[in-house]
Amino acid sequence: MHLNKTEIAALKKVPRLNIINSITGIKPGNVVGTKSKDGISNLAIISSVVHLSSNPALIGFIMRPSREYRRDTYNNILESACYTINHVNSSFIERAHYTSAKFDKDISEFDACGLTEEYIEDFFAPFVKESTIKMALTLREQIPIQSSNTTLIVGEIEQIFIPDEIIDSNGYLDLGKGNSVGISGLNSYYELSYKASFPYARVHQIPKDLKKNS
């Protein structure tokens, strides 16, 4: 298949949405935990989490347009300035997926989708007990992206939780061992398996056999 810009625009809405949502490749599977000032917890699956910087430790994610619909995650983050990001594990993919349904404001997706709220130390936002890798963040910035009518939410990591058995002495995480999952498009989930690691790439250390015609 080859499509140019005009042909992409002429596609039916659903195929266009699926193709453009999948073409970037595998995205990380996470659920974002928040709580309103009235104490109603919220959980939403998010596939746009991205690392921004390690020092300070900043993580971003894209919040879709909030004009047409009520967005509990967005409202709670603005209200409380904190949230959690929890890896989706293969043991609860389906439950995580259904957190994307538009539940009423007073319904917690934790209850509706069968996941367990976990409060650690005195952090206001709930973690997902079933999740193996998770972090607590405070809101640093929200950056409007005019061309897509979305918002980049920038958070600073306050706490991270990683099982000791999936992290090595250099800090590399084996996400396959942690049972984290990847997402393609809006409804397809993949398990991850470790393939290889390579040293920091320096020009004078490129393996000789990589060269064309070597």
Ligand X SMILES: Cc1cc2nc3c(=O)[nH]c(=O)nc-3n(C[C@H](O)[C@H](O)[C@H](O)COP(=O)(O)O)c2cc1C
Question: CB of residue 87 vs ligand X: minimum separation in angstroms?
Answer: 14
Q: Using alpha carbons only, what angle is made at residue 63 by residues 101 and 125, rounded to the nearest 5 degrees?
A: 75
- Residue closer to ligand X (CB basis): 47 or 179: 47
User: What is the C-alpha to C-alpha distance for residues 107 and 160, in angstroms, rounded to an integer?
Assistant: 27
Footprint of ligand X on 80-99 (CB under 6 A): 97
Q: Does 42 bind ligand X (CB under 6 A)?
A: yes
* Total of residues contacting ligand X (CB under 6 A): 18
Stretch that binds ligand X, among 39-47, 113-121, 138-146, 165-173 (CB under 6 A): 39-47
Q: Does 186 bind ligand X (CB under 6 A)?
A: yes
- Residue closer to ligand X (CB basis): 85 or 175: 85
- Amino acid residing at 148: S
CA 50 to chain centre: 7
User: What is the C-alpha to C-alpha distance for residues 108 and 11, in angstroms, rounded to an integer?
Assistant: 36
Question: DSSP letters along 77-88, please?
Answer: HHHHSEEEEEE-
Q: CA separation (Å) from 48 to 32, 71, 115, 151?
A: 11, 16, 21, 11
Query: Among 35, 45, 60, 128, which residue interacts with ligand X (rule: CB under 6 A)?
Result: 45
Q: Which residue is associated with the tokens 């397809």?
A: 188
**Pair 24, 179: CB distance under 8 Å:** no
User: What is the C-alpha to C-alpha distance for residues 145 and 152, in angstroms, rounded to an integer?
Assistant: 7
Query: Among 35, 44, 86, 178, which residue interacts with ligand X (rule: CB under 6 A)?
Result: 44
- Residue closer to ligand X (CB basis): 36 or 167: 36
**Pair 197, 175: CB distance under 8 Å:** no
Question: CB of residue 103 vs ligand X: minimum separation in angstroms?
Answer: 7
Stretch that binds ligand X, among 37-45, 121-129, 162-170, 204-212 (CB under 6 A): 37-45
Residues 142-181: x where in contact with ligand X by CB under 6 A, - otherwise, as a string: ----------------------------------------
The total of other beta-carbon atoms located within 10 Å of residue 135's CB is 21
Question: CB of residue 84 vs ligand X: minimum separation in angstroms?
Answer: 14
Stretch that binds ligand X, among 38-46, 118-126, 154-162, 198-206 (CB under 6 A): 38-46
Per CB under 6 A, residues contacting ligand X are 42, 44-48, 61-64, 71-73, 97, 100, 183, 186-187
